[in-house]
Amino acid sequence: DELTKPLLESDVPILGCIPKELVIKLVEEANGIPHNNDNIEQQSFFHFRDFIQKHAATADRSLCDVSNNNSSMLSLPLALGTLSPRQVYHCVKEEQNKLEIEQGNSASDINWLISHMEMRDYFLFNCFRDGASAYKINPKTPVHKPDAPREW
């Protein structure tokens, strides 16, 4: 409840479009879900490490599909803070080093996970900067236009 208090006290809808009523309903629904909070951070980390070790190198990332281990399913742990992008980075690097020692070659097949963390941050911070205008279907002007010309 203390985490949602600032959202509910704000006069501006979340991301410029999510009304308070929906936030209240989502919080009520989430509170009604039985939780097994026993080491949720540790569970998230073990699931991710398992994905890196067994599936990341062979995942078909061209699919819009999370079945058959084609996805790391990191969205929820990252959004909830049970995993951090920094943990993802170090876990991938650790596994790459281990594979290089074992196989004697570069283990770049799992490097895409680090790249995805960079893309995630790029789009996340652009949305924070642009606010509601980031979600316009047909903006008439650029979403972010510098106040003054910049010299190169």
* CA distance linking residue 78 with residue 123, whole number of Å: 14
Name the residue with higher pLDDT: 55 or 134.
Answer: 55
Instruction: Tell me the mean pLDDT in the region 127-138.
Output: 76
Per-residue pLDDT band for 132 (boundaries 50, 70, 90) equals confident
pLDDT, one tens digit per residue, over 65-109 is 667 777 788 888 888 888 888 999 999 999 888 888 777 666 678
Per-residue pLDDT band for 152 (boundaries 50, 70, 90) equals low
| φ, ψ of residue 45 in degrees (nearest 5) | -65, -45
pLDDT, one tens digit per residue, over 18-55 is 777 887 787 777 777 666 666 788 888 888 899 888 88
Bridge-partner residues for 18, per DSSP? 14
Closest CA to 21 of 40, 4, 45: 4
